[in-house]
Structure 1
């Protein structure tokens, strides 16, 4: 499975973890060096990979449901439910 991770600015006030707006990518820009975890349907850790400089990552997963957990500096973790199918590529956009 291939996934894309992108970050956009939030409409609300900056989180206490953000030091300044200039530290954050502009809306829609890819974010590299973010970690993405694959959790199985019960929430158990299965795998973890870093994103590329362009925000892409890939898991080779069997059929089934799971969760992608995105972990990025200066952002809250983001969980996204996914369904994997052997032989299929799933493009998923995750906004932090």
Structure 2
């Protein structure tokens, strides 16, 4: 399985070790025509547009970031030169769900 920056496998379920009381999670799925897109790059950009992190989507098209509270942008890059930006708000104790259709 492909991983970015030694990130854990990107699966739809949060690992049991994640304590949402102390984490802000941004998690999403990348699809094309309703079908999950594995091996796309999901980048996390801060409120000023600066690159913060990157992961490769898993077999289910899933990506996940642990972020500080605040405003973020998820940029998905996929085969064929596709690039889609999605704004998201992270908040401790919540999973911010992002669905990206390319």
With structure 2 as the length reference, what TM-score do the two structures score?
0.72
What RMSD, in angstroms, separates the aligned Cα atoms of the two structures?
0.9
Residue 4 of structure 1: how far off its partner (Å): 1.1
| Residue in 1 that maps onto 2:28 | 3
How many residues align? The count is: 77
Superposition map of 1:53-64 within 5 A: 53-64=59-70
**Unmatched 5+ residue regions in structure 1?**
8-26
Q: Secondary structure at the match of 1:60?
A: strand
Residue 76 of structure 1: how far off its partner (Å): 2.0
| Residue in 1 that maps onto 2:72 | 66
Residue 5 of structure 1: how far off its partner (Å): 1.1
| Residue in 2 that maps onto 1:34 | 40
Q: Structure 1 CA distance, aligned partners of 2:37 and 2:81? A: 12
**Unmatched 5+ residue regions in structure 2?**
1-25
**Higher share of residues assigned strand:** 2
Larger Rg: 1
